[in-house]
Structure 1
Amino acid sequence: MNSPDSWNPPEVQFCFAFINNSCRRSERSMPIVCAMYVVMVSAIVLTMLGNMVVIISIAHFKQLHSPTNFLVLSMATTDFLLSCVVMPFSMIRSIESCWYFGDLFCKVHSCFDIMLCTTSIFHLCFISVDRYYAVCDPLHYVTKITMPVIEVFLLISWSIPIFFAFGLIFSELNIIGTEDFVAAVNCTGLCMLIFNKLWGVLASCIAFFFPGTVMVGIYIHIFTVARKHAKQIGMGPRMKEVGSESKTKATSKKESKATRTLSIVMGVFVLCWLPFFILTITDPFINFTTPEDLYNVFLWLGYFNSTFNPIIYGMFYPWFRKALRMIVTGMIFRPDSSTLSLFPSHS
């Protein structure tokens, strides 16, 4: 028979035990807390190391200094910053349901969260433009996609998200009309990113739906053109110069593989972030009744995109695997390492 003491509910825990109006901590069992920390810390470490390999490889090896790879380098920098600046603090907030780092850093953290997410998809959008010219207009690719053009792409990819994120959060336009809800849930130790109905739609469209739609449209067109090129090469009349034919096929195959790889990167991004942005739009219309744990699952699914990108590079890019081996074995410290070939000799 149970004792009367066993009928008492567990003691409520607060974020700050000696502060009035402190937020309540989540009541989770120790095995669940440990499992969450293991998964999230692993994701952070993999994101950090994987993107660091991409950054070091493209920056160090001269053979990788191409317009497309400079966009990839900038995107890897975005993912690396996410793993350092955003994910560790989000991990503690998600597991403990508490924010221990002050109100000002809560705003700064939210700004970096929005900024880096938006920056990533802007990069992917411009990478799709690069692929469009590489596959659909290869004769003019070198003159169209130059370093000054890439610099403009990078300027747009970083400047617009910075102004958008910091301007929105510090002006508090996103919480106009939600004052009653904010006052009702406000407590010490809370760091919640809230969007009203207007900005829930606008922010999602600016950061995700508009550029995502552009990317999908571009890649559908690219695949259509690439298919047509493949049929023309395979079914067309025999060319007199066998060497020229072989070179054309090799170039077509290389561009098709690169486009397929980058489209997988884009597809993974869409699948990872789509649930979160749908939730961002719908949550204000259902009076912010989304369960906290569901919000965190969708948020971390989005963060995992930054973990997956280097894995995709490793699966599809031989240069990435070779660069990784050289970094791990220390060959990168050789004086001539920056000029070593990372590509198979037959390519």
Structure 2
Amino acid sequence: MSGGEATPPAAVQMCYENVNGSCVKTPYSPGPRLLLYVVFGLGAVLAVLGNLLVMTSILHFKQLHSPTNFLLASLACADFLVGVAVMPFSMVRSVESCWYFGRSFCTFHTCCDVAFCYSSLFHLCFISVDRYMAVTDPLVYPTKFTVSVSGICIGVSWILPLVYSASVFYTGVYDNGLEELSSALNCIGGCQVVVNQNWVLIDFLSFFIPTLIMIILYSNIFLVARQQAKKIEHTGSKGESSSESYKARVAKRERKAAKTLGVTVVAFMISWLPYSIDSLIDVFMGFITPAYTYEICAWCAYYNSAMNPLIYALFYPWFKKAIRVILSGQVFKNSSATMSLFSE
């Protein structure tokens, strides 16, 4: 297969045979090819089915209708759309090294990719604000973070990323100054987006600033949680009034929820950080990243969309119970919407 300069031109595989300007195809051998399809396909299936279960659980069971859970359902929707509209097409491009879905769909796919990523990030940022308010002032929190406030957060988390992504990729400003490189990479059968330094920097800051906010908020949440735990120990030894006991129970519940969502935020950062750093370094070093390094970073980020439902399944007893009800078919009974999912 690889014979250097002596290889005849016939040995070179093209994405589109007999088409002038077609990209060169660099396919994997059958074994690794099958393995990659399994690994990437599993990620897409997990993202679709897992997030569908999260959305169905929260929207169907009345007991789960809370401002925080509506944010979680909307986050699951963003991850679900990554599994439906982004991952399957990226899988074919990654394994076949060719884009077979047309130029206009390439732009749409890139637009969806960026928009849904930022939508997830914005949702997580609002969830961390919600958790901070819940832990620092658990008794006043329900009057501050209402369903309408949650609705505004959801609206912002969708509208801003979609407008930003569409305005960048449909106006073509992202590759200003890199037109030659862009046209060289985008032969027929290619879907490579080359983004200039200005937009990569804006992208990185758009990732870094909400991430920094989340780190600060969750650090404060855990500090407050420790103080509350010490206070409860102190008052518990003296004997406490029923109102103090209620306050302690509420605080404990909110801390537990904050810890679970803290794991979700950490998982997001671990998944997306390699891609964000690689994109930043790559554009300032003259696009030197090997294709396989880029693919690994991109798929680590995509796989984050499949991880959140697994985290909820591990940490939320109500989600486990909801899954059992949905998968057993009990969800179709009229009374299922009002059933209790909480043990306490």
Q: TM-score per shorter chain, which class?
A: over 0.9
- Is there any run of 5+ residues in structure 2 with no aligned partner, and where? none
CA contact (8 A) 2:27 2:97 kept: no
Indicate whether 1:338 and 2:315 are aligned. no
Letter in 2 for 1:177: G
Provide the residue aligned with 2:251 in structure 1. Answer: 252
Alpha-carbon distance, 1:245 to partner: 4.8
Letter in 1 for 2:47: T
Determine the C-alpha separation between the residues in 2 that align with 1:236 and 1:246.
9
Determine the C-alpha separation between the residues in 1 that align with 2:223 and 2:306.
30
Letter in 1 for 2:11: E
Alpha-carbon distance, 1:87 to partner: 0.6
Deviations 1:196-230 (A, max 9, x none): 11111111211x11111111111111111111111
Provide the residue aligned with 1:220 in structure 2. Answer: 219
SS at match of 1:341: coil
Deviations 1:218-261 (A, max 9, x none): 11111111111111111236455464454333322211111000
Provide the residue aligned with 1:302 in structure 2. Answer: 301
Provide the residue aligned with 1:314 in structure 2. Answer: 313
Provide the residue aligned with 1:14 in structure 2. Answer: 14
Letter in 1 for 2:288: T
Deviations 1:92-119 (A, max 9, x none): 0111111111111110100000000000
Determine the C-alpha separation between the residues in 2 that align with 1:185 and 1:57.
44
Determine the C-alpha separation between the residues in 1 that align with 2:198 and 2:156.
24
Q: How does 1:182-201 map to 2 (within 5 A)?
A: 182-201=182-201
Alpha-carbon distance, 1:186 to partner: 3.2
Determine the C-alpha separation between the residues in 2 that align with 1:209 and 1:248.
35
Q: Are the structure 2 counterparts of residues 287 and 236 from structure 1 closer, same or farther at C-alpha, using a change threshold of 3 Å? A: same
Q: How does 1:47-196 map to 2 (within 5 A)?
A: 47-196=47-196
Determine the C-alpha separation between the residues in 2 that align with 1:286 and 1:8.
32
SS at match of 1:336: helix
Q: Are the structure 2 counterparts of residues 301 and 237 from structure 1 closer, same or farther at C-alpha, using a change threshold of 3 Å? A: closer
Alpha-carbon distance, 1:193 to partner: 1.9
SS at match of 2:140: helix
Letter in 1 for 2:36: M
Provide the residue aligned with 1:269 in structure 2. Answer: 268
Deviations 1:289-318 (A, max 9, x none): 211111111001001111110000000000
Alpha-carbon distance, 1:139 to partner: 2.5
Letter in 1 for 2:96: E
Q: How does 1:202-213 map to 2 (within 5 A)?
A: 202-206=202-206, 208-213=207-212
Deviations 1:109-154 (A, max 9, x none): 0000000000000000000010011001122201110112111101
Determine the C-alpha separation between the residues in 1 that align with 2:23 and 2:7.
22
Determine the C-alpha separation between the residues in 2 that align with 1:147 and 1:247.
23
Provide the residue aligned with 2:283 in structure 1. Answer: 284
CA contact (8 A) 2:126 2:153 kept: yes
CA contact (8 A) 1:67 1:150 kept: yes
Q: Which runs of 4+ in 1 moved over 6 A?
A: none
Determine the C-alpha separation between the residues in 2 that align with 1:127 and 1:80.
18
Letter in 2 for 1:146: T
Determine the C-alpha separation between the residues in 1 that align with 2:312 and 2:186.
43
Letter in 1 for 2:89: F
CA contact (8 A) 1:26 1:95 kept: no
CA contact (8 A) 1:239 1:245 kept: no
Alpha-carbon distance, 1:180 to partner: 2.5
CA contact (8 A) 2:200 2:279 kept: yes
Aligned length: 339
Under a length normalisation based on structure 2, what TM-score does the superposition of the two structures give? 0.95
Provide the residue aligned with 2:229 in structure 1. Answer: 230
Determine the C-alpha separation between the residues in 1 that align with 2:213 and 2:138.
21
